[in-house]
A and B are shown apart, each in its own frame.
Chain A
């Protein structure tokens, strides 16, 4: 069974750093891209970027380039999303998802989400 399990909710202060994780199981982790998607409170889904764990090839949405860093450790089947200096506007639910490229590019399995709250 394909599963993406994300790390737990985080409460941080502005300026702090953070790294959240997404662990894949039940499939070949190095053979599929993993994407990150943001949902701010009361808003829709926004694509942040994707990584191919096989070679760490990474692509970012122009809206998130330079704001976050996406990485992966294929030895433990885990992808990461990190911030070096959080802002209140980073408060959101963050989802990881496995990307498929048959019949277009879409996400077939999703993590349960990680709620990040940034508040002073």
Chain B
């Protein structure tokens, strides 16, 4: 069981907006540690999508956005495209575990 909780799956039609939640506790997200998001296509290296809760690396479309509040964070994807179909992971740090923690991952299906 992962330290950060994500829904196993979400889906949406092309052009729609979807959100993926990431829930932590007081020793990680609730302690003020930033949340980061990765996109992972099978057989490829994970790709950084969002860092520091809300920041997009160069080259990531502005269709992807992140937010954080309390012990939770969210990734929003607007204008869904077929190429967005992938697994998405949140990641933070945890003071009690002294290191990096990942969510269990969410599979996004574009209908």
Contacts and interface: CB of A to CB of B under 8 A. Distances in A.
A7 interface: no
A56 interface: no
B105 A47 contact: no
A37 B99 CA distance: 12
Contacts of B57: 108
Interface of A: 35, 37, 44-47, 49-50, 59, 61-62, 95, 97, 100, 102-108, 110-113
By secondary structure, the B interface counts as strand
A47 B55 contact: no
Given A106-B91, A111-B45, A44 B104 contact: yes
Contact of B45 (A44, A59, A100, A110): A110
A103 B52 contact: yes
B99 A61 contact: yes
B97 interface: yes
Contacts of A95: 45-46
A49 to B, nearest CB: 8
Given A35-B100, A62-B97, 16 more contacts: A44-B89, A44-B105, A45-B46, A62-B98, A97-B46, A103-B52, A104-B33, A104-B34, A104-B35, A105-B33, A105-B34, A106-B52, A107-B36, A107-B48, A110-B47, A111-B45
25 contacts: A44-B102, A45-B89, A45-B102, A47-B99, A47-B100, A50-B99, A50-B100, A61-B99, A62-B97, A62-B98, A95-B45, A95-B46, A97-B46, A102-B52, A103-B55, A104-B34, A104-B53, A104-B93, A105-B33, A105-B93, A106-B34, A106-B91, A107-B48, A107-B91, A108-B51
B107 to A, nearest CB: 10
Contacts of A46: 102
B45 A104 contact: no
Interface residues of B, number: 31
Interface of B: 2, 33-36, 38, 40, 44-48, 51-53, 55, 57, 87, 89, 91-93, 97-105
Contacts of A97: 46
